[in-house]
Amino acid sequence: MYSDLHHSDPVLAALLVNSLREEEGRLNLIASENYASQAVLAAQGCPLSSKYAEGYPGRRYYNGCAAIDEIEALARTRARELFGAEHANVQPHSGTQANMAAYYALVDPGATILGMDLRQGGHLSHGHPANFSGRTYKIVSYGLDRETERIDYDAVQKLAEEHRPALVVAGASSYPRAIDFGRFAEIAKSVGAFFLADIAHVAGLVAARLHPDPTPVADVVTFTTHKTMRGPRGAVVLSRTMHAKGVDRAVFPGVQGGPMLHEIAAKAVCFHEASQETFRLYQRSVVANAAALADSLAAEGFRLVTGGTDNHLLLIDLSKSDVALTGKQAATLLEEAGIVCNKNVIPFDTRPPDVTSGIRLGTPAATARGFGSEEMRAVGRAIAGILRAPDDEDVKKRVRQQVHDWCAAFPLGVERRPTAPSSRKVFQA
């Protein structure tokens, strides 16, 4: 691998090989990460990366785009068909840019947007004061019910009536439960607001019909392609036909310049893969693995936010588990044992976001490697062992060896045909 690079830039080649070795030898439980297929990676590494093609198929500001037009048109058609959407813009480079374009398309600067608080599970681009969203719009944030730690839809309705937002945003980065998009659509409609669903995290589950689908009820849906979708880095805006022109103008020239054609080609591959039965089986395993990990951690005495998970991720509340660790300490300890996750605020956390009282764990990447429910239960026990005995080097050594054995058994870059997980009922759309 990388033989040309070894020749032309041995320094960078060595760094790349090191980073890949590192990834190969650790267990990735970061809920927003994944391993794209070889076909996706092949498209991403193709020479289309150099082509300029500002505009859209049939309407470009550069010549020489005939073949490229077909690629982008194919990606758009496949995205539309996969989600049953009326329009798809496949150019956004990231989820935040997709959201930015969606906001620009739907509301004017200064308008009121009702979105989920980052500290309760939302996303930076849903209105954080340091983000463009919080700087450009008047943000009203909703959160969770203190008891159930689930979205309090009645409270969202009340906020909507009180503040009359022009746009209601649903979607989350660290919410382990299914989101009722139908209810959000009703809330938005009741106050004459547009409704945007950001399904960056659960898009793969939605495509596999394992999570409620917002496409029939939302004005605009945004999602990233590199999380549960297992595609290339990037994002998509889906919309109703009435918003198509506005969305396209907001993406280009509103938010971006030239599209990344190699990424768009890779998105087309991703959508093709996501339409296959193997993808649905993979997503079922992602959900079943998250449930197995949650069950195992709960059995070990850890408190999970909301008590468990409906999707691909879970949050451990360390402040109410039998360990005296912050999220930051826990994530560092796990990394030392070869398990990578991220510290994460829990609902109503009293610690700052760079310390936190929780960690977030997700199963998309491990499942892509081939981990099954039995392994995930053992992973839960290994995590418990590390967090309960933070100073015990023997425990750490044993877990490191176990992670090494798992990684050897499930190497990266090997395409596996997932089998249907037998246990646990998952949400069916």
Q: Does the active-site annotation cover 277? A: no
Residues of span 173-232 touching ligand DSN by CB under 6 A: 173
The active-site residue out of 72, 117, 149, 198 is 198
- Closer to ligand DSN by CB, 122 or 143: give it: 122
204 contacts 178 by C-beta, under 8 angstroms: no
Residues of span 157-176 touching ligand DSN by CB under 6 A: 173
Structural tokens at position 303: 């408190």
Total of residues contacting ligand DSN (CB under 6 A): 4
DSSP H or E stretch at residue 55 = strand 55-56
Closest residue to bound ligand DSN by CB: 32
Minimum Å gap between C-beta 278 and ligand DSN is 25
The active-site residue out of 233, 249, 381, 398 is 233
- Closer to ligand DSN by CB, 173 or 367: give it: 173
The active-site residue out of 60, 119, 177, 227 is 227
Q: Does the active-site annotation cover 227? A: yes
Which residues neighbour 392 within 8 Å (Cβ) at sequence distance 6 or greater? none
- Closer to ligand DSN by CB, 341 or 384: give it: 341
Minimum Å gap between C-beta 96 and ligand DSN is 7
34 contacts 228 by C-beta, under 8 angstroms: yes
How does strand 235-239 pair with strand 313-317?
unpaired
- Closer to ligand DSN by CB, 156 or 313: give it: 313
Q: Does the active-site annotation cover 354? A: no
Minimum Å gap between C-beta 116 and ligand DSN is 13
Residues of span 85-144 touching ligand DSN by CB under 6 A: 95, 123
Instruction: Provide the greatest CA pair distance for the chain.
Output: 64
Minimum Å gap between C-beta 93 and ligand DSN is 13
Q: Rounded to a whole number, what is the distance in angstroms from the first to the last CA of the chain?
A: 42
Member of 32, 136, 228, 363 binding ligand DSN (CB under 6 A) = 32
Structural tokens at position 86: 């009326």
Minimum Å gap between C-beta 268 and ligand DSN is 22
Strands (E), 74-208: 87-89, 112-116, 138-142, 167-170, 194-198
Helix axes 373-388, 327-336, angle to 10 degrees: 110
- Please choose, from the candidates 282, 285, 316, 290, the residue with its C-alpha nearest in 3D space to the C-alpha of residue 302: 316
The Cα–Cα gap between 75 and 88 comes to 9
Rg for the chain (alpha carbons), in Å? 22
Q: Does the active-site annotation cover 142? A: no
| DSSP string of 147-183, one letter each residue | TT-SB-HHHHHHHHHHH--SEEEE--SS--S---HHH
The Cα–Cα gap between 379 and 403 comes to 9
The active-site residue out of 23, 33, 52, 180 is 52
Minimum Å gap between C-beta 58 and ligand DSN is 32
Q: Does the active-site annotation cover 78? A: no
Minimum Å gap between C-beta 95 and ligand DSN is 5
- Closer to ligand DSN by CB, 95 or 327: give it: 95
Q: Does the active-site annotation cover 249? A: no
The active-site residue out of 23, 33, 51, 54 is 54
- Closer to ligand DSN by CB, 231 or 421: give it: 231
Residues of span 302-341 touching ligand DSN by CB under 6 A: none
Helix axes 277-299, 373-388, angle to 10 degrees: 30
- Closer to ligand DSN by CB, 214 or 372: give it: 214
Find where tokens 């503040």 sit.
Answer: 163
115 contacts 122 by C-beta, under 8 angstroms: yes
Note the residues at the interface with ligand DSN (CB under 6 A): 32, 95, 123, 173
Please give the positions annotated as active site: 52, 54, 198, 224, 227, 233
